[in-house]
Amino acid sequence: MSGANQKNIPADKLVRVTFQPEGKTVEFEFGTMPYEHHGKPMSFLDVAENFDIFLDHACGGVCACTTCHLWIKNQDGISEADDDELDRMDMAADQQLDSRLGCQAVITRPGEYVVEIPKWNRNYVSEGKPLTLAEGK
């Protein structure tokens, strides 16, 4: 997939995910996205990896940290959080009612989804890639 949106997706199979605050929107046909082994299949981390959108995941997407913490604006069509995720979220910074781990929140049906990468996590990214600190500064 690597960032290219698919064309001619039937409306009843369309998944559209917008990553805020960048406003990057990706589209794909439900059930056709290859699994990139980052988080659970069809998780927001998996979507981000398939479309070259940087979402930090220090543990490799195995629910062992909170670096892929997202705010998911509409929870309809998203898997329920399991006990492992709920336990891990207890340690997440700036937890909100719509907080989920990107590696664990799975898209379960076609639809439109908006997720926001919290400001404290966005500080690690610049134009979709991790920041590189200049030496001597």
The answer to whether 97 touches 116, Cβ cutoff 8 Å, is no
pTM comes to: 0.82
Domain boundaries, the chain: 12-124
* Tens-place pLDDT, residues 75-123: 999 999 999 999 999 998 889 999 999 999 999 999 999 999 887 665 4
The CATH class given to the 12-124 domain equals alpha beta
* Tens-place pLDDT, residues 40-50: 999 999 999 99
**φ, ψ of residue 86 in degrees (nearest 5):** -60, -40
pLDDT higher than threshold 60 for residue 135: no
| DSSP-derived pairing of the beta strands 14-20 and 111-116 | parallel
Burial group, residue 7, by CB count within 10 angstroms (0-12, 13-18, 19+) = exposed
